[in-house]
Amino acid sequence: METPRRPTLITETPSTKKRQPRSPAQKLKEILDSIKAANWTLSEFFFHLFRLEGEDSQPVVRESQHKQMVLAMLNGTSKPSFGVIIDLIHRNAGHVDYRKDDETSMEKVFQPGILPENIKHAAPALTVWAVHLVSNLVRAEGQQMVMRETGLHLRASEKSKGGPNARMHAKHATWDAVDSFSLANMQKIAEIKAPILWEIVSSYVNPDYSAVDNQAVVVRRYRPQNVVCTNAIMSMTFGRSDRANMYALCRGIWYFAVKAHHSIFRVESRLGQSVAYSSVYEALRGMAVQKLNDLKEALLTVRTLGSRRHVITVSDNIQAFVKPRNHRIGREKKMIKGLAGTAVEIQDADPEAFDLRELIRRQALQERKNLSAEMILADIDGTHLENVAVVQIMDSLVQFVPVLAVYSKQLKEWSEGILAKNPIPKNRHSKITPLATNSSDEMLVQGMKQGVLDFATTQMGIDKETLDNRCWIYSGDGKTFDQLLKLKKYLGAEEGNFESFRWLVPLLELWHTKWTDLSRIVRTHWGKDFPEDPSTLGYAAKLAESPTPNDLRKVDFYDGAHIINLTLDAHLLNLWEAHFDTSDMVHYFETRKEENSMPTFEELVAIAGVLTRRHATTQAHKRALFPREDNRNAVLLGSPWIPQGEDVEMREPISEDEEDRLSDLSGAPENPDADVTLANSTLFIRNAIWWREMCKAVANGDPGRVWEILKLWIFTFAGSGNPYYSQYLLELYCNFKWEFSPKLRHAILMNWVVNLHGKPGMFIEMDLMQEHFNFWLEDMAQHKGKEFEEPFYRWVLSVNVHHFLRLKDEMENVVFLKARTKKHSAPHLNNELKEIMKHLRDAQVNCRRPGRHEGFEAVDDFTKGLEILKKEKIKNFIMRTTVYLNVLGLHGGSASATDLPADDADDEWGASEREELPRGGAAVVPPPRMYLINDALCIEERQESDI
């Protein structure tokens, strides 16, 4: 039987309809209908939605849903974000017309004094509200900018407007703070502390500025936008608070450094661009006093292992011709004189180097009595000098021929290896402190004494109590060096080491010595009476249209250095031309490169060695006058020499000085095969290479190489009619040979030149540095007409002079001005050089042409000086200088001041010769500096606006 199926239970439920999603417009209609049903306007809805206080001024208590929804909207939880909404409101308002009864002007969107709640139309209301909001934010940013923590506070002086403790928090103005001044740092401060203001000012200055899309902004070359904005913001910050004065103070000091008129300070301080002149004056005075106090403390405070800092003091006379502003009785034109100095901190030296007792002990041994010309000659490193010539001959070729530039790096490394003697670290940044000027006259021994004591005792704190068995190095030009030696001699019999100035170590400075040799070379090789002789310097100067010196005993340094370097390059390149038998060196080596037959570096060095022995030594000069065919270093033969007829009537008479010099030539009988023109050229090449080596050694910072040249100049100065500098170098030679301990000698060599930039190739002589400082001070003195001992010069100008000179360059860098280039021009594109080379080539000046004599005969000052020193000069020098050493030996005994000669009556090198030596003084432009750029010796271009 079949089981029946269970019936299915069917239940009926009401069918549920799926609700269709509403569109944004439908939702919006429901909400708007609800607002209308509540008898509210949309404005009332938003007012009650966001109001914070009720009619009773009590905080509105929001229901939970109300509170959560407003919070979600404002904190960004709900989407879209509020930024989108406020932007839509503003955009909608811009498309709504103004009502006829609305007094709001469409042209004037913002009007001061009108509150946003009083404005009917949304567009201007939003603008006014935004302006007020941003104003409040910028006001708060301004408060941040003037806070001490921002770093814009500099205290110019000890005086304070708000009482003794009102500005205790302010940082004193120091040169470290001023030197660290940077518009880039100022811009960073503004961007961090006042970003809204920076956005506003940047948008105003640069119409393309946008901080939204992060696009790179093209900075203009002129009036760079970021510089203009930073300047405006810093000026406004100073306008808000005179304590936030770093920018204004640095700008005021810069105005002072460039000798701005007082009226500029008056106007600019009112505009908020600078502090007042009085504030600059007080700041500079405070910084000067602080620098000298720091120097004194550093020299007298015992540091680690009982050592103290030590300095070399370099000084030079300073003078200016002052005209009276108002002509009255007793007011006349006058020359004001003084002494300026700089303390250069000694680095890389053993403190035991300055042991005064050891110095006196070595001096009292009087080992200088063993001095002889032969000894100095044997002490000259001949191999080093040959390497110097080889390097310069190689350098001339590699720099002239573009395809040989591949050897530049190898040449630099090779030359540094074989030439280095006593190199100073290349990146050393010398630490200097200019000293306060005084009115001492160094031309008088008594004036020199006063000046030295002012520097040493008054400013550096060195006296009898603090001397502590230490000697101190004092350097200067030839006259200063001479006066210091006299000072020690005249006071040598005094009992104490301090009173007798035994602690003073005179050191001859290098730039004036180099200038003296430059004048010697020009005088020796100019050939004034032989303008058509191609071996003369005057002939080359005429081709290059260089000026003729007014005084051959004191040649303008810039003009003399230019013509010597130019003519030397022409001669050296002519040697290469003759060797390779070509008139176009550039094309010759380009062809060899195309043919894959370029000579190797080693082959070129070998050729340079041959050229050195043929053309750049004293022996080569002698061979030109007394040739031998079998000599392996014989010069290449040129075409036969055919003497030209001489027009006696047209030729100028030989000057008396020239006649005396010609009569002093070797004295050997004339050789019919002598080539005097070649001898003149060879002698010039040798002398010019020595001079250029001095320049390059200084720029490289290797006083060991400098010393090798100074030993040569002992002879050349003695033979050139300038024996006084020969005497100075003889004194220096005795010091280095016997009287300075090895440690003291090392300390001097490691600090004989300075580097004010901390960059390789930027070393200069200390006296050249002082010349640049003096030029600025002398220029200021002519404007002020005051004595150099007055407070304005002592405590405002002189101590800060180094920073003034540096600040001018730094301010140009701050505003992205390109520095004046010191680039070495391509030699093969130098028309002057090529013109001289052409004439040397055509005249075969550096080829041997037996019997050639074109009228001029240059004197070999080195050989002549050797003969002079061998006779009586060194004996006389020893006799004169050991007088002081005899007193040292009797020190503490019966010696008295009467044991010393009263004057230099026995000095055969008279005062008339001293007056002809190069000395500093008022000049139109400062002396040029020499630097090494890409290992090429470059002279700064003359700039009459330079200081």
- pLDDT tens, residue by residue, 27-50: 889 999 999 999 999 988 988 888
Residue 915: the pLDDT is 39
Using the predicted structure, report yes or no on whether residue 599 has a pLDDT greater than 60.
Answer: yes
Do residues 670 and 676 make contact, with C-beta atoms less than 8 angstroms apart? no
The residue among 676 and 945 whose pLDDT is bigger is: 676
Which of 485, 516, 482, 507 shows the shortest CA–CA distance to 736? 507
Strands of the 504-508 sheet, one edge to the other = 432-434, 334-345, 311-322, 472-476, 504-508
Which of 281, 262, 282, 277 shows the shortest CA–CA distance to 160? 282
Over range 661-678, report the average pLDDT.
67
Residue 945: the pLDDT is 42
Residue 249: the pLDDT is 92
The enclosing H or E element of 678 equals helix 676-700
Q: What pLDDT, in 10s, does the model give residues 201-251?
A: 988 988 777 665 555 555 667 788 888 999 999 999 999 998 989 899 999
Residues 6+ apart with CB under 8 A from 313: 341, 342, 343, 344, 435, 455, 456, 460, 472, 473, 474, 475
Residue 900: the pLDDT is 43
Q: What pLDDT, in 10s, does the model give residues 731-767?
A: 999 999 999 999 999 999 999 999 999 999 999 999 9
Over range 865-882, report the average pLDDT.
92
**Whole-prediction pTM:** 0.84
Q: What pLDDT, in 10s, does the model give residues 672-704?
A: 889 999 999 999 999 999 999 999 999 999 999
Q: What pLDDT, in 10s, does the model give residues 393-434?
A: 999 999 999 999 999 999 999 999 999 999 999 999 999 999
Q: Which amino acid is at 285?
A: R
* Range name among 70-84, 173-187, 697-711 with the lowest pLDDT average: 173-187
The CB density around residue 648, as the number of other CB atoms within 10 Å, is 6
Residue 115: the pLDDT is 84
Residue 740: the pLDDT is 98
Distance CA 282, CA 801 (A): 15
The residue among 645 and 858 whose pLDDT is bigger is: 858
Residue 889: the pLDDT is 57
Over range 875-894, report the average pLDDT.
71
Distance CA 798, CA 773 (A): 8
Q: Please tell me what DSSP assigns to residue 617.
A: S
Distance of CA 639 to the CA centre of its chain: 50
Residue 908: the pLDDT is 42
Using the predicted structure, report yes or no on whether residue 282 has a pLDDT greater than 90.
Answer: yes
The residue among 114 and 510 whose pLDDT is bigger is: 510
DSSP 309-338: --EEEEEEEEEEEE--SS--TT---EEEEE
Residue 150: the pLDDT is 87
Using the predicted structure, report yes or no on whether residue 306 has a pLDDT greater than 60.
Answer: no
Residue 405: the pLDDT is 95
Q: What pLDDT, in 10s, does the model give residues 800-831?
A: 988 888 887 777 776 665 555 444 455 655 89
Task: State percent of the chain over pLDDT 70.
Answer: 83
**Three-class secondary structure assignment of 523-576:** HHHCCCCCCCCCCCHHHHHHHHCCCCCCCCCCCCHHHHHHHHHHHHHHHHHHHH
Residue 851: the pLDDT is 94
Residue 665: the pLDDT is 43
Give me 404's structure tokens.
């040989």
Tell me the C-alpha to C-alpha distance, in Å, between residue 7 and each of 1, 2, 3, 4, 430. 18, 15, 12, 9, 113
Residue 18: the pLDDT is 64
Residue 395: the pLDDT is 96
Using the predicted structure, report yes or no on whether residue 799 has a pLDDT greater than 60.
Answer: yes
Q: What pLDDT, in 10s, does the model give residues 328-357?
A: 666 677 788 999 999 999 999 999 999 999
Over range 567-574, report the average pLDDT.
98
Residues 6+ apart with CB under 8 A from 888: 360, 363, 364, 492, 502
Residue 730: the pLDDT is 97
Do residues 691 and 518 make contact, with C-beta atoms less than 8 angstroms apart? yes
Mean pLDDT of the chain: 85
The residue among 98 and 390 whose pLDDT is bigger is: 390
Distance CA 683, CA 705 (A): 21
Residue 814: the pLDDT is 67
| Among 85-89, 152-156, 177-181, the range of highest mean pLDDT | 85-89
Over range 600-609, report the average pLDDT.
97
Distance CA 422, CA 420 (A): 6
Residue 621's pLDDT band (cuts 50, 70, 90): very high
Do residues 390 and 685 make contact, with C-beta atoms less than 8 angstroms apart? no
Residue 569: the pLDDT is 97
| Among 193-202, 292-301, 313-322, 594-603, the range of highest mean pLDDT | 594-603
